[in-house]
Structure 1
Amino acid sequence: MTLWTFLKAEKAKVIVMAIKDRKRVPLLTGELILHTSPAGPRPHKFRVVKDDKEELRQPEEFIELLRISERILIDVESEKRSEAAVRELLDDFHLESEDVHVCRFCLLKKQFNFINKKSIKYHHELICEDCAKEELDMALRNAHSYIGDEAADRILHIMLTTRDLDRTIGMLSPEELDLEYTRFDTIEQQTHANKIKIKDIPLSKKLKDILLQKSETFLPVQSLSIEKGLLERRNQLVTSVTATGKTLIGEIAGIENILHGHGKMLYLVPLVALANQKYDQFNKRYSGIGLNTSIRVGSSKIRTSKTNKMKRGLDADIIVGTYEGLDVILRTGDADLLGQIGTVVIDEVHMIEDAERGHRLDGVIGRLKYVASGAQFIYLSATVAKPKLLAKRLNAELVEYEYRPVPIERHLLFCPESSKIRLMTKLTKDEYAKVSSKGHRGQTIIFTNSRRNCHSIAQAISMPASPYHAGLSMEERKKVERRFEKGDIPVVVTTAALAAGVDFPASQVIFESLAMGIEWLNMQEFLQMLGRAGRPDFHDRGIVVLLATPQKHYTSEQTGTEEEVAIRLLNGEMEHTDVKYGEEEQIEEILATAAVTTSKRDLKTIHRNMLADFEFNSLLAKLKKKKFITIKDDSIALTKFGSIAAGHFLSISKAFLIRDAVLSDHRAIEIVTNLEFFEAVYFKYAAQISTALKINMPSRVFQGASMDIVMEGENLSKLETKMQDQILDFASDFLTCGCKDSPFCGCPEHLFSEKIINMRMDGYDPIQIVRQLEDKYGITAYPGDLLGYLDDTIRNLDAVERIAAVYSKKEIAHSAKDLKKLIEG
């Protein structure tokens, strides 16, 4: 057994602890009172507490305790006059002592622990680790929101790493935000020395001149791609983080193949916004060398003053399109119109694993490989879980570049929802005040989970900020892109649209929410988004900030809370998921592929080479039975009905729904509005209505609770006269069906969708339609959503026209054709 005696001299007494075997809880504690004798300071009274019992001991026992102790420890924080008396006493008995620094919090609890290099800063002093843990636990219990176990473990880890309890507790309610306190980790900058000089590569002079305007060397990933056969027309899967130069690899291959007479370039992307941006870039970059660019997105038939200027022809050297926009050409049997294809670039190829759209990307790749078998295929992605496996499945050379051009600091803040606007304002202001060594101000992308949040956040933060999402018109999005690129806008607030590659040179990314809609972000989405932070040509580093609200979730069915999701995302790695399609998706792809081949053998081969397994024979039999295809020996052909379904992305059930409606002589406009309602419409004055009625008013017009609230007579009378008139106009135009379940019978949505279509036929463009809705009904919508709905309506009308023609319903066919032309404009 080891025994120490600890002494802390106070004004009127000396605290005494007997420490056995270095344990935190003393063997006994006591108080010693000294008196001055002719021989010097001597023990007068010695009171001890042992096993919760207090007793008075003989003063001599204190001297005996000192004599049997291996160490006598005196607290450096002792009262100096009383300490001097203790030292004189020790000297008289020839006892040695040593000064020690101990935890004051322990002493208050009658416990003992040293203060050393591992101790933790708290309130301008150091305390022991055990006391710091207890104080942190108390702070977590007293926080505004309950902190989950994973988040609590992370907070504890931060305290033990920083050795600063003030700093750690500050994360729970960061009044004075300091990014030094919130850093989760830093993904360090990594460089690769191998850079090939552009002048040393045998490129066409026209392309070489364009490249040399920007740099004398290829970036490392580009050099690696060239070394692995890019210019020998090898297929490649290129995986590297954002801003490392992947896009230019596809361009180099495509432009070289065009200039050498191998055929045009198809450049395919997942989003319309990204297609628009690439279209503008390629037009600007390559028109000077005589190459023309066109764009194909969706049905692409809505004409406005802005879209009329865009080239859409298939005879262009470069065709930029969305996956579906290009697939329409293949599905309608018009593959020959594409002419000779030299290069196919698939950007964001990881979308092939997307649960909803993955089958369509897989299908369009398979069909393009068949119709353009001599083309070079370049697949690009920043986030692939198993790149070697994907490269093998795509029959492509893997070009994997794992280096990061600038470091990225990742920060985690736990904060209540009410603090997020203030924190985002400070973060964006601080970032915009900084100028990089390249001369660029810091700009921020804020990710949130809904379009309406994009607008409310952009309005709430006291910085010039713009919302950006797919609901905006193309011109609005382009305006934001241009202003952000010039540095005129410090902040863009967006949803998932930017994660898929739209080029904004931001130095900072803030996650206001860790969900998209009501679903938590997955690892791939998260990595895509944080990859937006930091561009080597603009910035010295990237900043990523996660604002996590403890215990927040969006539905009762969600697993985990926001702070737990934040920890998982920051600690996680991408997981590979097997690609599987349901029967409906498999049928859609088989029908689509039957539009490019009449060989059953080739059809089977195309689908065998796709990523998912197809129940090929049984589905062919089903399609034949339902008269979507005919089969004779090795020959396979789409029926007229099947051709319409394939070209219009129709499921079997939707195709039969149109057919049955046509045979029942329904009006064309009635058929298409029954197929798809326009429901993305909102009360413009939802906030004012909420205030007037003292309730939380849902913003969506056709949400059940909204209809109940505004149509209640007593509620209506509490609103301003103008709002009352607008709501009554809405009711008189759309709530007059007389159905038993009105207004929840579907009739309001149906009538409203017809209204949208009729306004378009009267010559209104989407922006003008929105203005009309706001003026007459006090409701609003996003022009981009309206454009998408009208585009889908055209495609559905085209299907109605063709199916009506098949079944000799000429009047319906003519009506659908006329409606289609009016909507196209």
Structure 2
Amino acid sequence: MTLWVLSYAEKSKVVVMTIKDRMKQPLSVAELQIKGSSKGPRPHKIRVLTGKKNEEFIPPQQFIELLRSANRIMLAEGGDPANEESFLEMLKGFQLSADRVKICKHCWFNRRFNFVNSKSIKYHDELICADCAKEELLRAVRSAGSQYGEKSVYFLEQVLHKTRDLDRTIRMLSPERLDPEFTRYDTIRTSPNEATVRVKNLPLAKKFREMLLQKSETLLPVQALSVEAGLLEGKNQFVVSATATGKTLIGEMAGVQNLLDKKGKMLYLVPLVALANQKYDQFTERYSKLGLTSSIKIGAILIKTSQRVKMNTSPNADIIVGTYEGVDHMLRSENADFLGKIGTVVIDEVHMLEDLERGHRLDGLIGRLRYVAPEAQFIYLSATVANPEGYAKKLGARLVRYEHRPVPIDRHLLFCQENEKAKLISQLAKEEYSMRSSKKHRGQTIVFTNSRRNCHKLAGALSIRASPYHAGLSQYERKKVETLFAKGELPVVVTTAALAAGVDFPASQVIFESLAMGIDWISVQDFLQMSGRAGRPDYHDRGVVVLMPVPGKSYSSAQSDTEEEVAIKLLQGEMLSAGVEYGEAEQLEEVLASVAVTSSVQDLRNIHSLMFGGFDLDKLVSRLQSYRFLEKKGNKVSLTRFGKIIAAHFLPVSKAFLIRDAVLAENSPLKIVTNLEFFDAAYFKYANQIGSSLHVNMPSRVFQGAALDIVFDGESLSHLDIKIRELMLNFASDFLTCTCRDSPYCGCAEQKFSEKIIRLRMERLDPTQIIRNLEDKYGISAYQGDVFGYLDNAVRNLDAVELIARVHSKKEVAEEAKKLKKKVQG
């Protein structure tokens, strides 16, 4: 048995612990009083602390024997100097001595024992042991006023272990005074430029090379790797690299040089209209200097208004920028020949193949383009892919992978409450905007939130100039925000996660106000895509990413993880490949679309062998034949009149049958299109006031959750302000009057509301005027972009109704659809 005696000198006494075998819990604790004598200091009273009411003392001689039997006597540092000296003198009188040691004061206070050293935890300018630090941390978590999950507590313990600083760890729980040293989670470093290729040595046309030299004398690393992998020798490439590493220029170098070498035009394809608009503007300005023309294909812009930005949409241009669907529409409409000779196809954000809704269409488009342009050079670009080798193999392309950031990124984790966010974001954005990089650019911020409504709400709540930006805005409004941000005149843009792959805002800081897209958590791929927008090498020296999770928060009862746990998963997470799989309905659509570009069954088989999705082609062709969408004679296959309409209008089979049946029943075209697609992006303008008056959580969206129940309830309405009550009664009397058993959840309200929007358009109101009318009469608002989009889709659907009616000899329905279509177009 090892026996230690540990002492600590206080003002009037020395506390003494007896420790067996280095155990943290002592055998006994006693208080020693020392008294002077002719022989020097001697033990006077030794009171054993038993926790009982009756005091227990031991004789001085017994205490001296304990000291003599100890393997080690220790004196803890930091005690009362005078009493320390008396204790050491006393020991000396018995030919004993003590080692000076550093102990954990928190342990000592709790009558436990533990040493501390330089590796112990720092807390309030002293060192404490790991166990006490953990206890203090858990106490701080419990008193923080938030519900932290187990994973979050574990993460905080890891931070404590990593930093050895309890003050710093606890500061993560209360971000009132923002200090990057306390909130920094990690830093993603840059790496040295491994590959350098000088622009002047590139085998490019002289004018093109001179244009590139104006920007830089050397290529960025990923561009250099691409050139070394055969970019300028016509090799197909799949380029995987972080946002802002220079991927776009890889596609441009191949496409423009192929154009100048007379190999054919360039198609540059992106997932979003906003991104297509931006690329179109950039290419028009940049390459007109080389005598090249640019045009845009984003699907027909069918609604005529004064706010539409005029753009070249001719397929005869040298460079065609388009959305996936915009270019696929030409192929599906049997107009592939109008594209002319294609030299280069650049497909940006190719990881969209894994998107549940649009993945099958991108898959089909790639297969069809590889068929109609077999000699073209294909360049696929992506920032985030879980299985790049598998992608490259299936796409028939060389993998060019560059895993390093162009500038370092500091990633920060800021636990906070909902009501603190606007203040914290304002502070972070102001600090960022006050700084200029070595390239003389101000720091600007993108804030990601989970809904369009929150974009406006948050932008309005910040104490620094900020603008909302989302797909619900009109093209004109989005363009205005893009221009101001590009000029450095707008410090903050608040946008949705849905635009993560969108417009190229040159931001130095990205803030995640929310970690959801709607009510679903964002994926690791989404997170990497979004956070990758922080820091641009042409503008900034570093990027900043800030996550602002609310402890305990979730967006639906189905979510087991809370927001702060999701934040930690995202920061630590690895991407998982969702794969490119889709169902039979999507497969039928893609086969039908592919028949628009070939009449050969063998070629059809070849097209679908190039695609990711699995196809039982014989079965699918047979099914489409039975639907009378296509005809097959021997090795030849062709679309029927009905099939051509379905393919060109991107109609799923189920939707095509709905239109056909409604046409045969001679339903009105207005009823047909409003049943096909509801306008559901409507909002109660006074949702907050209604919620406050009724003491309920009022959903802002009109056709969501219990909103209709509340409006449907006459008793509820009686508690509302008279003006709001009148608006709600107008809404109820116009849209909630059906006698369906499931009313108001039968769909009649949505259908009537959608019909109202089209009727207002028929009265020659533009989307802005339509919204004003809805606000004035019903207290219901919407975004211009959503109204534009709905009317555009209504025109497409009316076009399909007209054509299908003609196929089935329903002339009156066809003529009515044609007239209605013209009125909606304006």
Q: TM-score range, shorter-chain basis?
A: over 0.9
> What residue number does 1:341 align with?
342
1:587 aligns with 2:588: yes
- In the alignment, the residues of structure 1 paired with residue 774 and residue 513 of structure 2 have an alpha-carbon distance, to the nearest angstrom, of 31
CA shift for structure 1 position 704: 5.2
Equivalent residue of 1:560, what SS?
coil
CA RMSD of aligned residues (A): 1.8
- Cα contact 1:693–1:715 (8 A) shared by 2: yes
The AA in structure 1 aligned to 2:399 is L
Equivalent residue of 1:37, what SS?
coil
Greater CA drift, 332-341 or 293-302 = 293-302
CA shift for structure 1 position 658: 0.5
Alignment of 1:49-60 (within 5 A): 49=49, 55-60=56-61
- In the alignment, the residues of structure 1 paired with residue 564 and residue 426 of structure 2 have an alpha-carbon distance, to the nearest angstrom, of 21
- Cα contact 1:7–1:75 (8 A) shared by 2: yes
Percent same amino acid among aligned pairs?
A: 61
Greater CA drift, 315-324 or 424-433 = 424-433
- In the alignment, the residues of structure 1 paired with residue 317 and residue 824 of structure 2 have an alpha-carbon distance, to the nearest angstrom, of 26
- In the alignment, the residues of structure 2 paired with residue 162 and residue 437 of structure 1 have an alpha-carbon distance, to the nearest angstrom, of 31
> What residue number does 2:37 align with?
37
- In the alignment, the residues of structure 1 paired with residue 435 and residue 528 of structure 2 have an alpha-carbon distance, to the nearest angstrom, of 25
Greater CA drift, 730-739 or 797-806 = 730-739
Equivalent residue of 2:96, what SS?
coil
Which TM-score applies when normalising by structure 2? 0.97
Give CA deviations for 1:305-350 in whole Å, capped at 9, x if unaligned: 2335111111111111111111111111111111111111100011
> What residue number does 2:8 align with?
8
- Cα contact 1:191–1:404 (8 A) shared by 2: no
1:610 aligns with 2:647: no
> What residue number does 1:810 align with?
811
Alignment of 1:281-292 (within 5 A): 281-292=282-293
Greater CA drift, 232-241 or 193-202 = 193-202
Alignment of 1:686-697 (within 5 A): 686-697=687-698
Alignment of 1:353-372 (within 5 A): 353-372=354-373
| Structure 1 residues 410 and 704, CA gap change in structure 2 (3 angstroms) | closer
Give CA deviations for 1:762-821 in whole Å, capped at 9, x if unaligned: 322222222222223221101111111112111111111111000000111111122222
Alignment of 1:580-729 (within 5 A): 580-703=581-704, 705-729=706-730
Equivalent residue of 1:500, what SS?
coil
- In the alignment, the residues of structure 2 paired with residue 440 and residue 141 of structure 1 have an alpha-carbon distance, to the nearest angstrom, of 43
Equivalent residue of 2:548, what SS?
strand
The AA in structure 2 aligned to 1:639 is T
CA shift for structure 1 position 447: 0.8
- Cα contact 1:5–1:72 (8 A) shared by 2: yes
> What residue number does 1:491 align with?
492
- Cα contact 1:191–1:403 (8 A) shared by 2: no
Greater CA drift, 508-517 or 410-419 = 410-419
Greater CA drift, 172-181 or 705-714 = 705-714
- Cα contact 1:351–1:361 (8 A) shared by 2: yes
CA shift for structure 1 position 600: 0.7
- In the alignment, the residues of structure 1 paired with residue 228 and residue 743 of structure 2 have an alpha-carbon distance, to the nearest angstrom, of 67
Question: Paired residues, what number?
Answer: 825
1:256 aligns with 2:257: yes
> What residue number does 1:771 align with?
772
- In the alignment, the residues of structure 2 paired with residue 594 and residue 119 of structure 1 have an alpha-carbon distance, to the nearest angstrom, of 71
> What residue number does 1:382 align with?
383
The AA in structure 1 aligned to 2:137 is L
> What residue number does 1:145 align with?
146
- In the alignment, the residues of structure 2 paired with residue 177 and residue 147 of structure 1 have an alpha-carbon distance, to the nearest angstrom, of 20
- Cα contact 2:309–2:476 (8 A) shared by 1: no
CA shift for structure 1 position 501: 4.0
- Cα contact 2:274–2:502 (8 A) shared by 1: no
> What residue number does 2:266 align with?
265
> What residue number does 1:22 align with?
22
> What residue number does 1:350 align with?
351
Greater CA drift, 13-22 or 296-305 = 296-305
1:799 aligns with 2:789: no
The AA in structure 1 aligned to 2:398 is E
| Structure 1 residues 292 and 772, CA gap change in structure 2 (3 angstroms) | farther
Equivalent residue of 1:268, what SS?
strand
Alignment of 1:186-197 (within 5 A): 186-197=187-198
1:526 aligns with 2:527: yes
> What residue number does 2:116 align with?
115
- In the alignment, the residues of structure 2 paired with residue 191 and residue 330 of structure 1 have an alpha-carbon distance, to the nearest angstrom, of 44
CA shift for structure 1 position 262: 1.4
- In the alignment, the residues of structure 2 paired with residue 62 and residue 642 of structure 1 have an alpha-carbon distance, to the nearest angstrom, of 102
The AA in structure 1 aligned to 2:154 is D
Give CA deviations for 1:591-611 in whole Å, capped at 9, x if unaligned: 110111111111011111211
CA shift for structure 1 position 694: 3.2
- Cα contact 2:699–2:705 (8 A) shared by 1: no
- In the alignment, the residues of structure 1 paired with residue 150 and residue 733 of structure 2 have an alpha-carbon distance, to the nearest angstrom, of 54
- In the alignment, the residues of structure 1 paired with residue 12 and residue 218 of structure 2 have an alpha-carbon distance, to the nearest angstrom, of 79
The AA in structure 2 aligned to 1:67 is R
- In the alignment, the residues of structure 1 paired with residue 10 and residue 201 of structure 2 have an alpha-carbon distance, to the nearest angstrom, of 82
- In the alignment, the residues of structure 1 paired with residue 77 and residue 229 of structure 2 have an alpha-carbon distance, to the nearest angstrom, of 69
> What residue number does 2:748 align with?
747
1:331 aligns with 2:332: yes
> What residue number does 2:92 align with?
91
- Unpaired segments of 5 or more residues in structure 2? none
Equivalent residue of 1:309, what SS?
coil
Equivalent residue of 2:29, what SS?
strand
- Unpaired segments of 5 or more residues in structure 1? none
- In the alignment, the residues of structure 1 paired with residue 763 and residue 256 of structure 2 have an alpha-carbon distance, to the nearest angstrom, of 43
CA shift for structure 1 position 51: 11
The AA in structure 1 aligned to 2:335 is D
- In the alignment, the residues of structure 2 paired with residue 200 and residue 704 of structure 1 have an alpha-carbon distance, to the nearest angstrom, of 62
Equivalent residue of 2:187, what SS?
strand
The AA in structure 1 aligned to 2:674 is T
The AA in structure 1 aligned to 2:563 is E
> What residue number does 1:464 align with?
465
> What residue number does 1:552 align with?
553
Alignment of 1:208-219 (within 5 A): 208-219=209-220
> What residue number does 2:516 align with?
515
- In the alignment, the residues of structure 2 paired with residue 55 and residue 721 of structure 1 have an alpha-carbon distance, to the nearest angstrom, of 80
CA shift for structure 1 position 55: 3.9
CA shift for structure 1 position 194: 2.3
CA shift for structure 1 position 163: 1.8
- In the alignment, the residues of structure 2 paired with residue 211 and residue 824 of structure 1 have an alpha-carbon distance, to the nearest angstrom, of 43
CA shift for structure 1 position 734: 2.6
- In the alignment, the residues of structure 1 paired with residue 441 and residue 709 of structure 2 have an alpha-carbon distance, to the nearest angstrom, of 52
Which TM-score applies when normalising by structure 1? 0.97
> What residue number does 2:46 align with?
46
